[in-house]
Amino acid sequence: AGQLERSHISDPACQKRVAEVYCARLLEVEHPRPLRSTCPLDADALASPSYSIEGHTPSGDVLATDYRPARHVALAVLILAAYRQQAEFVKHLVQTLWDPRHSFLIHVDPKSEPAGELLHDLRSWTATEPSLSANVHVHSEVVVKRSGASLLAAELYGLRELLQVSE
């Protein structure tokens, strides 16, 4: 509460909402819900422009009881990048985690400096590496203000895109 009072958010209702969202995210991390055995995606809901707000609740009440070993689990990885200096780190991270089952989305902030170099570098890198081009995607859609709501918007956009490219 003290941090919010000292922040740039002056509206008490907005401070309350930020605190609620923050606390909900903390609870999700501390007490994750068990995975469901099925997660059918509703194509109409996914195509809706308000999907990231309305969300999607998987149907089915059966909890997954058969767990696969970690080496058999496909991952969807979202990387948010904004600075030219991050290019080599992002490449190393993708190469370290890379597996043909995994899907990667690298979201480059459109206002990254100098003028799109990071985006061009990462797109060129994935295009010249045949093993990466199928499951490493580079996008630049959401302008991000650090610690602002746009950071959450970029995360939601990235996760939505990962759902679509990893089907």
Q: What percent of the chain has pLDDT over 70?
A: 67
Q: Return the minimum-mean-pLDDT range out of 8-22, 42-56, 80-94, 129-143.
A: 42-56
Q: Is residue 60 part of a domain?
A: no
Above 90 in pLDDT, residue 52?
Answer: no
Above 50 in pLDDT, residue 153?
Answer: yes
* Claim: this prediction has a pTM higher than 0.85: no
Q: Is residue 62 part of a domain?
A: no
Task: Kindly state the tokens that stand for 150.
Answer: 């746009």
Q: Is residue 92 part of a domain?
A: yes
Q: Which residue has the higher pLDDT, 58 or 33?
A: 33
Query: Residue 32 belongs to what domain range?
Result: 8-51+73-166
Q: Are 129 and 161 within 8 A, CB to CB? A: no
Position 9 scores a pLDDT of 76
Position 101 scores a pLDDT of 87
Q: Are 160 and 139 within 8 A, CB to CB? A: no
Give tens-digit pLDDT for 110-152.
Answer: 988 776 899 999 999 999 988 888 899 999 998 888 767 888 8
Q: Is residue 145 part of a domain?
A: yes
Q: Is residue 155 part of a domain?
A: yes
Mean pLDDT over the full length of the chain: 77
Distance CA 118, CA 11 (A): 36
Position 30 scores a pLDDT of 61
Q: How confident is the model at residue 67 (pLDDT cuts 50, 70, 90)?
A: low
Q: Is residue 13 part of a domain?
A: yes
Position 109 scores a pLDDT of 92
Q: Are 102 and 70 within 8 A, CB to CB? A: no
Above 60 in pLDDT, residue 19?
Answer: yes
Task: Quote the number of domains for the chain.
Answer: 1
Residue 36 DSSP symbol: B
Q: Is residue 65 part of a domain?
A: no
Q: Is residue 143 part of a domain?
A: yes
